[in-house]
C-alpha cells in the first residue's frame, strides 16, 4: 500500500500544536522560535509539502504575476527581474513574462489575454509609455493591481516606482564641478522620457548654481536608450572639435555606445572628455575606462513592486515612490586635461 501523504493536520498533531499555528508558520507569520524549530523538524521528518494550487484557490489567487517589458534582453531590466524573482520565491507565486517587441514589432496581445482571462494576480510594466495606455486601462477595468517601474510619463492609474532622478542629476553636476569641469554636455534618451527630463533638470539646476555651463550644442535627446543611439550621437558630436570637457548620458547604454566611437576617434577619456552614465549595468564596470554612473536600486525596486501587488488591497490609492540613487565613481571621470571656452 502506498504511504499516505501527510497533511497540515498530521504536522500539527506530530508537533503538538494547533493547525492554525502550522498555518501561521507556513505563511511566514509570527511563531515562537522553539515552535518554529519543532515544526521545521516535523515537516522534514514527515516529508510534508503543501498544495500551492489549493492554497491559491482558497485565497482567490491565480498564483502568478505578469511582467510586460519592451525586451527581456535589456540589461537594466535583468536587474529588476532578479528582485522580482527574489520576492516571488518568498510568496509561493510564479512569473509570466512577455516581451512586447519580441519579434521587432510591438504586440501586446498576449498581455491583453492575461488580463481578459484573469490569469494573473498583478501586473508589472517597466518603462511604460503612451502605447501602454490600452493595457493599463484594461488592467484597471479588470481590477488587476498594476505597478509601473520608471514609466516614461506621469501616470495616476497605477502604482509608480522610480529613481529620484532630480537629485541624481544634481549629484552628477556636483561630481563634475568638484573635478573642475566648466563646460558640460548632456545626451538623454527619448525626449518624452520623464527620467531623462528629470536627470537633465537636476543637472542643469546644480551646474547653474555652481557656475558651470551646460553647452547647448552638446545637449540633446536621442531617439532611444539603446547603445546605437549613443553611437550616432558620438558620430555627430565628434565631427567638430569638442566644446565640452564632460558628457552626461541618460543611461549607461548610450554612454557605452558613445565611448566606443570616441575611442575610435582618438578621444582620451577622461583626459579629453569625462563620461557619466545612469543605471550601473554590468557592462559599465567591464569597459575601459570603467564607466562612472548613477546606480538605481533595481533589485529592491523589483522586490517592492511584487510586495505592492500582494498588498494592493490595503492601499487607498496607488502610491508613487522615488528611490535614492548612488553615484558610482570609476575611471571615466577625472579633472579636465584641456581648456574649453564656453
Per-residue cell: 77: 531590466
Q: Hey, what's the torsion of the CAs at 123, 81, 198, 335, to 10 degrees? A: 180
Q: What is the pLDDT along the chain (342 residues), one digit of tens a residue?
A: 455 678 878 888 898 998 888 877 876 677 888 888 888 888 888 887 765 444 544 444 567 899 999 888 888 899 999 999 988 887 778 899 999 888 778 888 888 999 988 889 899 999 988 888 888 899 988 889 999 999 988 877 788 999 999 999 999 999 999 999 999 999 999 999 999 999 999 999 999 999 999 999 999 999 899 999 999 999 999 999 999 999 999 999 999 999 999 999 999 999 999 999 999 999 999 999 999 999 999 999 999 999 889 887 666 777 889 999 999 999 999 999 865 555
DSSP 77-143: HHHHHHHHHHHHHHHT-EEEEEETTTTSS---HHHHHHHHTT--SEEEEET--GGGHHHHHHHHHTT
Delimiting residues of CATH 3.40.50.2300 domain(s) in the chain: 63-162+297-322, 165-295
Q: What is the CATH number of domain 63-162+297-322?
A: 3.40.50.2300
CB-based burial of residue 201 (10 Å sphere; 0-12 exposed, 13-18 middle, 19+ buried)?
A: middle
Q: What is the CATH number of domain 165-295?
A: 3.40.50.2300
DSSP 173-207: HHHHHHHT--EEEEEES-TT-HHHHHHHHHHHHHH
Helix (H/G/I), strand (E/B), else coil: 234? helix
Please measure the distance between the N-terminal and C-terminal CA atoms of the chain and give it in whole angstroms: 88
Is residue 203 within 8 Å of 173, Cβ to Cβ?
yes
Q: At what angle do helices 133-141 and 109-116 cross, to 10 degrees?
A: 10
Amino acid at each position: 500500500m502506498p504511504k499516505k501523504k501527510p497533511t497540515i493536520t498530521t504536522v500539527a498533531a506530530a508537533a503538538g500544536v494547533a493547525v492554525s499555528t502550522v498555518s501561521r508558520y507556513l505563511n511566514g507569520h509570527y511563531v515562537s522560535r522553539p515552535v518554529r524549530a519543532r515544526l521545521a523538524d516535523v515537516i522534514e521528518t514527515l516529508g510534508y509539502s503543501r498544495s500551492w494550487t489549493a492554497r491559491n484557490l482558497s485565497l482567490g489567487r491565480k498564483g502568478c504575476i505578469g511582467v510586460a517589458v519592451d525586451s527581456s534582453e535589456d540589461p537594466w531590466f535583468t536587474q529588476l527581474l532578479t528582485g522580482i524573482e527574489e520576492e516571488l520565491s518568498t510568496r509561493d507565486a510564479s512569473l509570466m513574462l512577455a516581451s512586447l517587441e519580441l519579434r521587432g514589432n510591438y504586440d501586446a496581445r498576449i498581455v491583453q489575454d492575461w488580463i481578459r482571462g484573469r490569469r494573473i494576480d498583478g501586473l508589472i510594466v517597466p518603462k511604460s509609455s503612451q502605447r501602454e495606455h490600452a493595457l493599463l486601462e484594461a488592467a484597471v477595468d479588470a481590477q488587476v493591481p498594476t505597478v509601473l517601474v520608471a514609466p516614461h510619463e506621469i501616470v495616476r492609474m497605477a502604482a509608480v516606482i522610480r529613481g529620484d532622478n532630480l537629485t541624481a542629476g544634481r549629484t552628477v553636476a556636483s561630481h563634475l564641478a568638484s573635478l573642475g569641469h566648466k563646460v558640460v554636455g548632456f545626451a538623454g534618451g527619448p525626449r518624452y522620457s520623464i527620467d531623462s527630463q528629470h536627470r537633465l533638470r537636476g543637472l542643469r539646476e546644480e551646474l547653474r548654481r555652481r557656475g558651470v555651463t551646460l553647452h547647448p550644442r552638446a545637449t540633446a535627446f536621442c531617439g532611444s536608450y539603446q547603445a546605437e543611439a549613443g553611437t550616432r550621437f558620438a558620430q555627430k558630436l565628434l565631427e567638430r572639435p569638442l566644446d565640452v570637457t564632460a558628457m552626461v548620458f541618460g543611461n549607461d547604454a548610450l554612454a557605452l555606445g558613445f565611448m566606443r566611437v570616441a575611442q575610435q576617434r582618438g578621444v582620451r577619456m577622461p583626459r579629453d572628455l569625462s563620461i557619466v552614465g545612469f543605471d550601473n549595468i554590468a557592462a559599465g564596470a567591464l569597459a575601459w575606462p570603467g564607466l562612472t554612473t548613477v546606480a538605481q536600486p533595481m533589485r529592491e525596486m523589483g522586490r517592492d513592486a511584487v510586495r505592492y501587488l500582494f498588498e494592493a488591497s490595503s492601499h487607498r490609492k496607488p502610491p508613487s515612490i522615488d528611490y535614492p540613487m548612488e553615484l558610482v565613481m570609476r575611471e571615466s571621470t577625472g579633472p579636465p586635461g584641456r581648456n574649453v571656452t564656453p
